[in-house]
Chain A
Amino acid sequence: DTAVSQTPKYLVTQMGNDKSIKCEQNLGHDTMYWYKQDSKKFLKIMFSYNNKELIINETVPNRFSPKSPDKAHLNLHINSLELGDSAVYFCASSQWWGAGKPLGEKLFFGSGTQLSVL
């Protein structure tokens, strides 16, 4: 069983379209994340949710809207896609959030979604 699964793996779409990427984790973790990896391989946090509540939003445009129906799922919806949105999007999860949590709690990553906006 895949611990963190994202779908689709590849997404090719036209500028202006709306698309969604789904993420599910079966690890029982409380915290989930979306990271964006650009063409230069730089990884940057976009959002973090803890138990369905948004805790980090790193100045991401309003066109990006994460939705967490339950703590095992964190989906990413993108409106009015732009060329600059082309990237690999990674979902990740970890068990802990908050004071007293072990710093060594590693993130488990999904396999990534390659988004290409034409």
Chain B
Amino acid sequence: AQKITQTQPGMFVQEKEAVTLDCTYDTSDPSYGLFWYKQPSSGEMIFLIYQGSYDQQNATEGRYSLNFQKARKSANLVISASQLGDSAMYFCAMSRAEAGNMLTFGGGTRLMVKP
């Protein structure tokens, strides 16, 4: 069975600094996808970034980048130049070829940006 682990329940970052949110995963499937979602206090789930297991380059979307280290089974999210609006829960998730697009989520990291 696949498993997603986010070891940081909560983190603080100073506004305008970069922050890395950790995510490790465990799967024996050769083909899988890794996602990050943001959940602000309003509750909605917002897609941030995606990385495929066969992608050679790390994914980037604006201020978000995914530090994908396949051998270590890690998919850390890097947020550059943090903004107050980045304060939220962040979830790492994985999809597998054999399970359709069902996402399995990690436990989440609460990020708090300090002014």
Contact = CB atoms under 8 A, between A and B. Distances in A.
Which of A99, A106, A112 has its CB near the most chain B CB atoms (within 10 A)?
A106
A40 B101 contact: no
Interface stretch (B12-20, B29-37, B70-78, B79-87): B29-37
Q: Interface residue tally of chain A, by bracket?
A: 20 to 34
B98 to A, nearest CB: 9
B44 A94 contact: no
Contacts, number: 69
Contact of B100 (A41, A43, A50, A109): A50
Given A104-B33, A104-B52, A106-B50, A112 B44 contact: yes
A107 B35 CA distance: 10
Nearest to A97: B100
A105 B102 contact: no
B95 interface: yes
B88 to A, nearest CB: 11
Nearest to A88: B43
Contact of B101 (A44, A90, A107): A107
Q: Interface residue tally of chain B, by bracket?
A: 20 to 34
B102 A43 contact: no
B1 to A, nearest CB: 11
A92 B96 CA distance: 17
Contact of A106 (B35, B53, B102, B108): B35
Contact of A103 (B32, B42, B107): B32
B45 A105 contact: no
Contacts of B101: 31, 94, 96-97, 101, 103, 105, 107
Interface of B: 31-33, 35, 37, 39, 42-45, 47, 50, 52-53, 89, 91, 95-97, 99-105, 107-108
20 contacts: A33-B102, A41-B89, A42-B107, A42-B108, A48-B100, A55-B100, A90-B45, A96-B100, A96-B101, A98-B100, A101-B101, A103-B33, A103-B52, A103-B53, A104-B52, A105-B95, A106-B35, A106-B50, A111-B43, A112-B44
